[in-house]
Structure 1
Amino acid sequence: MSLNINIGETPTPSATQPPAEASFTVIETSDVFLQAQALPKWHQEYLQISEGAFHGSLSDISLGPIQLFRERMDKAVDQQGQPWPNSFVVGIPVNIEGEGFWSGDKLVSDSLFFLKPNSELRFRTPSSSDIYVAVLDLNALNQYIEDFTEINVQHLYQLSGVAPASQQLCQSLRYSLHHIFEGVSNNPYSLNDTRVRQVLFSDIMNTLIVGLETLGHVQPGNPGQFVHRHIVEKAREYMLSNKHLPPTVLEVCQELRISRRTLHYAFQKVLSISPVAFLRYIRLHGARQELLTTPPGRVLISEVAARWGFWHMGMFGTYYKALFGETPSVTLRRGLRPG
C-alpha cells in the first residue's frame, strides 16, 4: 500500500507563515532496504539484524521546515544516517519490544529521544518498534523560540540520546501526535488549504515545545511582568478584529510581542481557558455562521471546516457539538429560522 500527496514546491516559510510546501506519504514495505529509502529528506542505511521476513510501514507529514513521521518495523535493525543539515530531532516511542539503543542510550517506553543538529544517528532498534519522530529546521525553530517562548536555545540543542519522561507526558504526546496523523489521514487533501497547513504547522510546533518544556530539560526563563487582564484584552481585540481569518496563537504572540507561555498564563488567570481554546471558539462560531446561512446541498461540511482551519473532521464534530449542543449536519439542515 502506498499513498503520496504533494502540494507546492516553494521555499521554507517563517515560523508564522503557512508552509507553502506540504506532503503526506503512507507506505508499507516488505524489505528493509525499501524501508530505508521510503523516508524523505534522510540519508541512511538500514541493516536487518534479526531473522525472519521483514514488514515495516511509514507515515510521513512534511510541512516545509517540519517533518513528522511514524515508523513501524517488526525486526531489529541497525540504522545509521542523518536528517537534512541544520535540523534538530526529537522523538517518542509508541510501542517497543526488546532492547533498543538510540545514540548509545537504552530506549525505554516512557522517554523522549533526541539528535543534536548535524550529528550522525546510530540507532539499534528493538525487535519490534513503533516510534514518532519530528525533525525541525533550525531557522524556523530559532525564530519560533525567539518570538514565542523563553527556552534556552543553546541548552536545547545540546540534548542528545534518551531522556526518561513521565508516563503522563508521554501519553499526552502520543495522544496529540496520533490525532494529528488521524486527521491528515482521514482528509489528506485538506493540505491543499493554506489555512489548514498554517494551523497544522502551529499545532505540531506547539505540541512539541510544550512537551519539551514539561520535560524540564530546556530551562525556561522567568516570564516578564505583564498585567494579565491588559494582555487578554489586547489579544481578544486582535483576534476578533481578524475573525474572518482567525490568527494562530503564534501570530497573536507576535502581534503583542509576548511569549506563548505569558499569553497562556494570562488567559488562564482571566478567562480560565487557554488562548488555543478561545481561538477555537472563534473559528467554531465562524463555521456555525456559515452553516446557518448556506442552503443545504450548496456546501460540504468538510469544506466549511477546512476554511475555518479544522483539518481533523472528527475533532471538528466533537468540538462543535460540545460547544453548540448539536452536530454540524443538524445546523446545516436547520439553517436560520425567523425568531
Structure 2
Amino acid sequence: MGTKDDGITLPCDLASLSGTLKVCSLEMVLLKAIRPQPIIDTLAQDQACFFNAECAFSFRAHLTVPKNWCLLGYIHYTDRHSWCHGVTLATGTAFTVLPDGDSELLLSAGTSLTVILLPLEQLEMKLAEIYPRHAGDLSCLHTLFHLSDTPSAQRLKTIYQNIRRYLTRSELLGITNVPVTNKLDIDILLKGHLAASMAVTAEDLPGCSRGRRKHYLIVQRVEQFMRTNLRNDIYINEMCDAAKISERALRYAFEDLLGISPNRYLSMLRLCTACRSLASSDISRRSVKSVALSCGLWDLSRFADSYRRVFGELPHDTLMRTPMINSSPMSKS
C-alpha cells in the first residue's frame, strides 16, 4: 500500500491511504503515539477495488465517498470501542456507505474488515433489477446491520469471508490484477448484500443510547473547534465553552468515545494533521517550520522528537518524500 521500511508504515503510507482507496478521502487521527502498522491487501477488478484491512492501532477517521461511488463491506472482527457516528460497531456487522456525506468513525486496534469500492451505478442497477419497486431509492438500504442467523445473512457472511481468503491468497502470490478466468463475482456480492440488507429486522440494527449520542455530539463540536483553531493555543476552558458543557462532562465524553483526554486528542490531531500536510505539500513552497506552526506546534525540537517517535522518521524526511508520493500511481485517482 505504499513505501515500506522494514515492515513499518511510514508517514507517506498513512497520508496516502486515501490514495489506496482510490477516489475516497480518508483523514485519520491516531489515538496512541505508536507507529501505525496497517496490513492492507488490495485487488483491482474491472471498475471495482477490493480491500482487506487489519489495523494494529486505534484511530479516529473521517471518510468521504465522492459522487458516483459507494462502499460495501463487512467487519470480521472488532471490539466494543469501535463506532460509527457514535453507534457501536460489532463483529459480524455489514455496512453500506453512499456518497451522501462524511462518515465519522473510530476503529480499535485489532479490527479486521473487508471493503469493496465500486461505481454507484452498479448498485443502483442491481437494486432496480432485483427490487423494481425500490428502483432509484437507495434510502431503503441500511447503513449498518448485523448479520444474524437468517439464510440471506449467512450467505453474505460467507461471501465476505471468501473474498477475504481470496485477497489474502492473491497478496501472497503477488497478484494485483485478476485473471479474466478467475475473477471475484461482483454480481453475487451485490445480490447477497442487497438481499441481506432488505431482510434486516429491528433486532439486526445497532442502537445508540441517548447518553452515547450526547457524548458523540460533544466530541464532534469540540473537534470542530480544535480544527478551526489548530494554529492557536487551545485551553480546556475554551473547549468547554465551545460545547457549552462543564470540564467534567467534556472529559467524560472524550474518555467514553475516544479513550483519551481532550488534551491528548488535541496533541494527536496536531501531529497527524502535520503528517498529512507534510506528505502532500510542495517542497518548493512549504517548509517543516511553516507546517508545524500552522498546526500549533511551536516547539520545533519537541515536534521533531514526537513525530519521529510516532512515524519512524523526521518531519523533513516526510516532506522530502512528497515528489515520490505525488508521482506514484496510487496518488493519481
Relative contact order, higher structure (CA 8 A, sep 6+): 2
Structure (1 or 2) with the greater strand fraction: 1
**Normalised TM-score (structure 2):** 0.49
Greater helix share, structure number: 2
